[in-house]
Amino acid sequence: MQSLVLTQPGELAVTPAPLPSSPGPGEARVRVCCSGVCGTDLHAYAGNQPFFTYPRVPGHELGVEVVAVGTGVTSVRPGDHCAVEPYLSCGRCIACRQGRTNCCETLQVLGVHVDGGWRDEIIVPAAKLHASAKLSFEQLALVETLGIGAHAVARGAPEPGESVVVVGAGPIGLAVAQFAAVAGAKVTVLDVNAARRAFAADWLKVDTLEARGLTPAALRAALGGELPTLVFDATGSMAALRAAFLWPAQGGRLVFASLVQGEVGFDDPNFHRRELTLLATRNSTAVEFRRVIALIESGRIDTKPWITHRARLADVPAAFAGWTRPETGVIKAMIEL
């Protein structure tokens, strides 16, 4: 057994891992087959993920096979292939009682607050497993990323035909754009990276614009004379988050789908003048996991273009620094165990 540990910013090491114990009541022991590399992992590697402590076994985008289940578990059985909902919620706080388990008061996320799935096997609550008899392990490992996009879009609630701008064409931005398009919105993606803009245009068939130097007047002109009524920021950039307040139209909505350290400032009179609505979005819920799996199974969501890089777990320490560089062209890297 082995695990991949982020010992401190910039340092990954493959280390021996103890064999997990037998699953307790309500738990399942799973073999990790694939794990995606997320923006959270990249930020933790760089040392600027606000909820992360070291050392830590990362990994929360997981495609797994059930090995054993504890007493009382009927939702999955050994041999099932599953996506893992990595958000460990208490089930008792006000958010959980409202079904908003994604923002539980004491939320712990696998691979962030507690050790995650960059290891051979792990024990998880069986209720956090979502089985599919049709999807590959790689597709199952993508469900968490797609679920974040699906939840963000649910927060923004676009209407069919509504003008939507997504700032940032990384994995989360692409997932947001994909689900906004599924909702019937007219989607435009902004990014400074030409390759990512081309990827979004070719794969998602959405409009794209160069973000560098863009002004509200130029955006208005590009969109046919009106600013968008719904804007998502998925950049992880403080400067972009501040600039995002410029993009929505009068009465528009702004959804922060990315996270930065520190305080985000904005011009209050301009915010009030337009009566903007500002929304945060965090993680996703079981509802999104089930919906994403059904959409992939039906063929409405195509996962083939997502995975651009792969590596075996033992090879990740040598490859990881390259994955952090934009010129490497990573959309989604997948760790194969």
pLDDT tens figures, 197-212: 999 999 999 999 999 9
Contact by Cβ (8 Å): 111, 56:
yes
- For 54-79, write each residue's pLDDT tens digit: 999 999 999 999 999 999 999 999 99
Beta bridge partners of 69: 28
First to last CA, the chain: 11
Query: What are the structural domains, with CATH classification, of the chain?
Result: 2-131+306-336 (3.90.180.10), 149-280 (3.40.50.720)
| Mean pLDDT (whole number) for 42-53 | 84
Give the per-residue pLDDT at 133: 96
pLDDT band, residue 52 (cuts 50/70/90): confident
Give the per-residue pLDDT at 47: 86
Give the per-residue pLDDT at 298: 96
- Rounded Cα distance between 308 and 63, Å, is 17
- Rounded Cα distance between 101 and 106, Å, is 10
Copy the structure tokens of residue 212: 């560098």
Task: State yes or no: pLDDT of 50 exceeds 80.
Answer: no
For residue 171, say if its preceding peptide bond is cis, omega within 30 degrees of 0: no
Strands of the chain (E only): list them.
2-8, 11-16, 27-36, 61-69, 81-84, 87-88, 108-109, 121-125, 129-131, 163-167, 186-191, 207-210, 230-233, 253-256, 277-280, 307-312, 332-336
Q: Quick one: what percent of the chain has pLDDT higher than 70?
A: 100
Question: Would you call 113 helix, strand, or coil by DSSP?
Answer: coil
- For 96-120, write each residue's pLDDT tens digit: 999 999 999 999 999 999 999 999 9
Q: Quick one: what percent of the chain has pLDDT higher than 90?
A: 88
| Mean pLDDT (whole number) for 12-28 | 90
Contact by Cβ (8 Å): 38, 149:
no
The pTM is what? 0.92
- For 139-150, write each residue's pLDDT tens digit: 999 999 999 999
pLDDT band, residue 11 (cuts 50/70/90): very high
| Mean pLDDT (whole number) for 210-239 | 96
Copy the structure tokens of residue 48: 């600027």
- Higher confidence at residue 187 or residue 22? 187
- Across the chain, mean pLDDT equals 94
Give the per-residue pLDDT at 43: 84
Range name among 136-140, 264-268, 284-288 with the lowest pLDDT average: 264-268
